[in-house]
Amino acid sequence: MDDKFKAIILNQSGEKFSREIKKIDKSFFKTGDVLVKVHYSGLNYKDALILRNGAKLVKEYPHIPGVDFSGQVIESDNKDFKPKDDVIITGCRVGEIYPGGYSQIVKVKSELLIKTPKLISNKNAMILGTAGFTSLLCAFAIKAREELLLGEKVNEVLVTGATGGVGSIAVMILTKFGYNVTAVTGKKDKKDFLTELGAKKIIDRKELIKNMLNSLIKYEQITTTLPKAKVLKPQADKIITLGKKNSLQNTRMLVSKLQDMKSTNKVKKTLAKRYESRKGGYTRIIKAGFRYGDNAPMAVIELVDRDIEAKKVDKIKKENAKDKKRIKGRWFMWAKYT
């Protein structure tokens, strides 16, 4: 076969970033033991960032982008992959630190490849792409959680970013699995689209943030994804700043934003007093690794100088309710037999 092939080549020299379709040869590849003829590759959000300016994800130039692809093996130094085997790769830093799928031919490490299942074509594999694969991982993680950990069926599932690539496919898959899916989106014009995919309820993203704000005020520490924590932090700081200003107008604004009188009273009476001499920065974010299933970055967001007992508030209420029930039962038994 001809050693020459076409690829999108990214390059950077100082501040100058360039992208062009060039003819190169196999000597371009410095690593890998399986040579693949690329049939299809998707366009992911990360691809768009890399194509624009490298997005600080590409560490070495010149570079071939494309974070996923499907194709057929041409040459292989690994016994598990033979010529004409159909293969897929998604993620694994391909298109970032390794050459990616925006090329007619690519050489990759065999441990990153999987064989295309017989019931799916290379084209359909990339129609689903990395977004579909991630959605399936999320769905299977929920199935595993209910079967292995909870021991009972999960009925309600919340999908955030529901109109995006991962979110929209997740809504469809989870509906097929029999879950009642609530879709969260900031795009009001996409309600019909989400309903067609199977979502039972659709709520505005602002409602989700409001509920998270109330949880943070109540428990003073919550765990969420890192992007959501970054959205929540400035809003929580603004709420506390608002609570420190003692006026009827500010109280009304607090009630309007939180729509919860217990949270409003805590901000006005407890948090305003706690942070009386502090001029800002009432919350902090602590990175907490990656979530099992979809590898989403997680974070703990908490109030500075938080009340550790706040997280136990529901537990204390339950214990008090049990104690009252126990006392009531004892009184009934005493009354019955005396």
| CA distance linking residue 280 with residue 257, whole number of Å | 19
Q: Please give the mean pLDDT across all residues of the chain.
A: 88
Q: Please state the CATH superfamily assignment of the domain spanning residues 127-199 in this structure.
A: NAD(P)-binding Rossmann-like Domain (3.40.50.720)
Q: What's this model's pTM, rounded to 2 decimal places?
A: 0.69
Encode pLDDT of 1-22 as tens digits.
568 999 999 999 888 999 999 9
Burial class (CB in 10 A: 0-12, 13-18, 19+), 134: buried
3-state secondary structure of 337: helix
Domain ranges of the chain: 4-119, 127-199, 207-306
Asked if pLDDT for residue 295 goes beyond 80, the answer is no
69, 100 contact by CB (below 8 A) = yes
Q: Which residue has the higher pLDDT, 24 or 294?
A: 24
State both tokens at 148: 């292995």
Tokens 């955030």 appear where? 160
Span 207-306: which CATH code?
Answer: 3.90.1030.10
Answer yes or no: is pLDDT of 49 > 70. yes
What does DSSP say about strands 283-290 and 297-303: parallel, antiparallel, or unpaired? antiparallel
Is the separation of the CB atoms in 157 and 138 below 8 Å? no
Q: What is the pLDDT of residue 322?
A: 55
pLDDT digits over 303-332, tens only? 999 998 887 766 655 555 555 555 555 545
DSSP per-residue string spanning 84-136: T-EEEEE-TTBTTTB--SSBSEEEE-GGG-EEPPTTS-HHHHHHHHHHHHHHH
Fold of 4-119: Quinone Oxidoreductase; Chain A, domain 1 (3.90.180)
Query: Which pLDDT belongs to residue 320?
Result: 58
Q: Which amino acid is at 37?
A: K
pLDDT for position 146: 79
207-306 and 127-199 share a CATH fold: no
Q: Which tens digits make up the pLDDT trace of 228-265?
A: 999 999 999 999 999 998 888 988 999 999 999 999 99
What sections of the chain are H helices per DSSP?
A: 45-53, 122-144, 165-176, 191-197, 205-219, 226-244, 248-258, 261-266, 272-274, 313-337
| Chain segment 70-111, per-residue pLDDT in tens | 999 999 999 999 999 999 999 889 999 999 999 999 999 999
